[in-house]
Structure 1
Amino acid sequence: MSGGARIRRSWWHVELQFCGDTIQTRMSRWFPQRLHVGYTRSMLAALWLQPAPRRIGIVGLGGGSQAKFCHRHLPQARIEAVESDPDVIALRGVFHVPMDDERMQVECADGAAWLRTRRGCFDLLLVDAYDVHGIPPALSTQDFYDDCRAALTANGVMAGNLYNTDTRRHLVRLRRSFDGRVLKLDEPGMSNKVVVAWNGSPQPEPVAMTLSRLPWGARGQLRAGFRRLAKAWEGQASR
């Protein structure tokens, strides 16, 4: 992520903004571990299809909301994140992003090039990289989405945030890369679209059962997203 990121503080929130009014991350000062922005909760609805990932990849660290959530609530998982802007990585302390250890690693690199070196690595891949102009061209190509699929394990799941972009063009490429195994979720009250794609043939449990296997602090944050994804899943199956 790049494009003139800056910090804005208020009594309630700390925000990572681009030049202008585009907000990349909003963190509650009192509950810094919560997923405050709706589309991040929708992206992590992908856990309904892969509820116990051992290795998680994140393209676009930003303010680290999803990295923090996974680090806190998925203790079995190792998290590897890539961020192209060193100034953003330098702010990880401001946003309470855990420092590198045996479970967490953040690299400063080009996301597309980084992903090409991660074949068959991730049970869960989160792609949330954009700047004030939208999604960078290198993260919008057919080759990139082919690499997303190749970076997943045999039963891996990917979630992506489509912001300020031609959603139809991305969906065409995703469906080509994943042989049609793609669902789109419109984010209520926001311009973001969330896409979920997967390898293999998931057999998801009922939402309530999957939620019950997650820590208590994660359930309320993910319940609505799980239900929306389950509804989209059932709608696709009925066609």
Structure 2
Amino acid sequence: MIRGGGPSQNGRHERPVVVRAGGFVALQFDESGVQSCMLAQEPYALALGYTRTMMGFLLFQPNPRRISIVGLGGGSLAKYCYRYVPDAVVTAVEINPDVLALRSLFQIPPDDERFEVICADGAQYVDSCDHRPDVLLVDGFNAEGVPPQLCSRAFYTACRRQLPDNGLLVANLISSDSGFRRCVRSLRAVFDDAVVVVPAQDSPENVIAFAWKNPAACLSLDESLARARVLEVMHPLNLRETAIRIEYGKRIDWDERTACSQT
């Protein structure tokens, strides 16, 4: 299982552990899963499949002006967006100061005019900031899974409020978590059912939820594949695979699938 992102809890923070092995540098908080992973020789590459699936937002927002990320971890998504989406202003929010202390180890670039890392509670940040991100990536976890404050109906309502009319929310979830179905139901309620839940690359339990403020922004498979062919010239990602995964996700009844897996 790949938890992803950084921890987010009320009142206390888990202390991160850095593991180096086989050309990888990984961030963990316990033995249940990896939070983040970096290729030592390619620090801007996306080593974990779920992060590559999350970058599927490019199919719908190929040139975002602003990207906000809740949960920094080892900075994989933030670094990738900074390098490969050069016209976007990228803001990453991380609650755990011990994770932020590892910034240089994971080669997360310093703040500049289009990149900023903030130490704050992600839910409070989304509820109070005046940014209007075209893309909002939610990738915050603790040892138990997605913290309640990052998957509540109130949180998703705040996310939707912050997005412009063509904005997109992308959230990393774990299908085996006890609150998974509740998260998906809350997303569907807030985003008027304009939600697709997609199996992530390289992980049987990570699933990525795409939620559109404007339902018409969701593309057909043919449109997604055509856009992927153009984008892959600029992005070292298999966006055609992601387009197919998104189409497949439209056909999955996650209530039924998770109910069967948990019995």
> TM-score, normalised to structure 2's length?
0.83
What percentage of residue pairs aligned between the two structures are identical? 37
Is the CA contact (8 Å cut-off) linking 1:120 and 1:150 kept in structure 2? no
Unaligned runs of 5+ residues in structure 2 are 1-6, 8-12, 253-263
Distance (Å, rounded) in 1 between the aligned partners of 2:108 and 2:247: 30
Change in Cα spacing, 1:203 to 1:178, as seen in structure 2 (3 Å) is closer
User: What is the aligned partner in structure 1 of residue 196 from structure 2?
Assistant: 183
Distance (Å, rounded) in 2 between the aligned partners of 1:120 and 1:12: 37
SS at match of 1:210: helix
Is the CA contact (8 Å cut-off) linking 1:207 and 1:230 kept in structure 2? no
Task: Using the TM superposition, give the Cα deviation of residue 120 of structure 1 relative to its aligned residue in structure 2, in angstroms.
Answer: 6.2
Distance (Å, rounded) in 1 between the aligned partners of 2:207 and 2:226: 26
Task: Using the TM superposition, give the Cα deviation of residue 5 of structure 1 relative to its aligned residue in structure 2, in angstroms.
Answer: 1.2
Q: Which amino acid aligns with 2:140?
A: A
Q: Do structure 1's residue 32 and structure 2's residue 32 form an aligned pair?
A: no
SS at match of 2:46: coil
User: What is the aligned partner in structure 2 of residue 71 from structure 1?
Assistant: 82
2:151 to 120, 140, 145: 140
Change in Cα spacing, 1:165 to 1:60, as seen in structure 2 (3 Å) is farther
Structure 1 runs of 4+ aligned residues shifted over 6 Å read: none
Q: Which amino acid aligns with 1:93?
A: S
Is the CA contact (8 Å cut-off) linking 1:16 and 1:63 kept in structure 2? yes
SS at match of 2:19: strand
User: What is the aligned partner in structure 2 of residue 227 from structure 1?
Assistant: 244
Task: Using the TM superposition, give the Cα deviation of residue 42 of structure 1 relative to its aligned residue in structure 2, in angstroms.
Answer: 1.1
Distance (Å, rounded) in 2 between the aligned partners of 1:93 and 1:190: 31
Distance (Å, rounded) in 1 between the aligned partners of 2:106 and 2:234: 19
Q: Do structure 1's residue 211 and structure 2's residue 228 form an aligned pair?
A: yes
> TM-score, normalised to structure 1's length?
0.91
Change in Cα spacing, 1:217 to 1:33, as seen in structure 2 (3 Å) is farther
SS at match of 1:220: coil
Is the CA contact (8 Å cut-off) linking 2:93 and 2:117 kept in structure 1? yes
Q: Which amino acid aligns with 2:68?
A: G
Q: Do structure 1's residue 92 and structure 2's residue 103 form an aligned pair?
A: yes
Q: Which amino acid aligns with 1:225?
A: T
Distance (Å, rounded) in 1 between the aligned partners of 2:145 and 2:226: 37
Q: How many residues align?
A: 235
Task: Using the TM superposition, give the Cα deviation of residue 136 of structure 1 relative to its aligned residue in structure 2, in angstroms.
Answer: 1.2
